[in-house]
Structure 1
Amino acid sequence: MKRPGIKDLAKMLSLNPSTVSRALSDHPDIKQETKERVRAAAREFNYQPNLHARFFRKKTSGLIALILPEFNMFFVPGLMDGINESLVNSGFSLIVFFSDNQIEREKEIVNHCLSWVVDGVLISLAENTNTVDHLKSFKSAGIPLVMLDRVIFSPDFSSVTINDEHAAYEATKYLISNDKKNILGIFGNSNLEITKQRVHGFKSCLDNYNVPYSDYDLIFKDALSGNKNIESKLRNTPYNAIFIMSDELLMDTYPVLLKNRQYPGQVSIVSISDGKIPYQLYPKITHIRHSGYEIGVTAANTLIQNIKNDTYEEQNIKVSTALVELESV
């Protein structure tokens, strides 16, 4: 049995197709009794609107695409909660794609979104994405796009991030203020803008407080062979503190410290975190807290504003962070 359409519902209810369509759209000219009859029939016969027909009729699909690099990032659930809440409240539906941290997959998803006539796009870039050229087709098609978290700053698109440089600076300053002057920095992929900003904040703080360091004192995820590099440096260098730029790296590093009996006791830790993982470790980890939920809400609201106002004003929005003092320093 084929899926019923507007004409089928109209025939069942002895109504004009235009009346059924307006009833489903909650048009004010349609009586409430008629709306309820139509909705009841739509539920009974599992009527689903044809999104392509809706697009050609209204020039809108009601769909927002969210493109993420991977699922197993600790801040993703909060991020998706914030995005979905804002979109639902504004009458949009969310479809989610994962690029598997590959730009080629990211490009395929871009083409899917263009063919599915989405109303807007939210994207956190893959690790090996080093250009936004493939995203410019959205702008050409009049589809607003907002980058979030992992971004490449561009005059063509808005972005929502934390102030990554400031967050790393404040974390490092906290360690220095607690008389920690021999600090190891652990960072993610060195090609990512988020990593570059946090490295700059870390180094700037050490420079401003005249704390000596060298490139040896920075470890990058893409340069690691498992955790051997971390183990080697902790074994051969008398570090008394570690700055860790993300929850994922914190979870990678924590077992190494326990294995070598360096935490708690020998080294202090400050990380940047969405605030959940630090409470699950012992002692609890002092951190600069950022909210994935708030980033999601802000990015979604920015996109919705662009869609509804039919404007594409580029903004680089910074979501606030806060120091949470716990037990690791």
Structure 2
Amino acid sequence: MSKFYSLNVEQVRQETRDTIVATFAVPLALRERFAFTQGQHLTLRAQINGEDLRRSYSICSAVQDGDLRVAIKRTPGGAFSTWANDTLKPGVSIEVMPPMGHFNLPLDATQPKAYLAVAAGSGITPMLSIIKTTLAAEPASRFTLVYGNRASAAVIFREELAELKDSYRERFNIVYLMSREQQDVELFNGRITREKCDALFASWIQVADLDAAFICGPEDMMHAVSAALQAHGMPKASIKIELFAASIPKKQQHASHARPVAGRQESEITLVIDGAQRSFSMGKDTESVLDAGLKQGIDIRYSCKGGVCATCRCKVVEGQVEMDANYALEDYEIARGFVLSCQAFPVTDRVVLDFDTDS
């Protein structure tokens, strides 16, 4: 799972002024390895100005589409997104890690359900995969999408969403919110806030009828929507959340504890990666396990280093670590011992982390 593979870009489409959609050609020998579940993401890797850069981008194709594509929005000051928008063309090769992520729910063709998706900007990318896959796989299920943007010209996948609406007229509904473009219905003007959600849930969307909700966008929007859903009766366990790349919080320096660390000042770390074990010593409460491992020359999978993408997800099988930030793991994953190595600081004298297990 940690390995990168060189894939050729098969097609590049200019989706909006600042967003491209890149389709990758997956060789027959890699088809099984790059099979994905709706809502998962790819980690891309490139050498840009002599620096090894990695970024995660959500897959935007449906499982049934038979292709592998991602949307990459150019962000101000974004070295990777700028490079990708300027460089990726058909025939260009790029290193890609197989699909990862748990921003999804199991599908069952025999169980009709009602879903809500709330997205802002490029947060629509995983939603398109989730919505298309679900509507095709569950013939009696319904999906409502609330999608916020500045204006119509900034709407990513506008045509594809319109086609999807035409294909599933009775089962797919879209509510567009615009912050800089006046719309006929006053409720649909402005950003997606807690107050806006409360108003939507009071008159347009019946939360009591929903089985689950997906949220993807800026952190403040994410928390606002989740709080509103829970206030209107949806259990927290039914809400799936994922930040998109542009919302990765600035990495904060780890603050040392006021109390002294227990035991020795150093911790013996063992990492299980692709069936092999690598061990090294590191100071407690000084740097993350990921950073320390990379300094040892160990090829550990990672992308954002901000606790957002979950690319560096692993399981604590011995010892204890503390996490500074977590924007990716669900409560049940943490209860089962999963951590993000980019945010994990050793507490005990010995720590063993398994990057291979998913259970």
TM-score normalized by the length of structure 2: 0.30
Is the helix fraction higher in 1 or 2?
1
Question: Which of the pair has the greater relative contact order for Cα pairs under 8 Å at 6+ separation?
Answer: 1
Asked which structure has the greater CA Rg, the reply is: 1
Is the strand fraction higher in 1 or 2?
2
TM-score normalized by the length of structure 1: 0.32
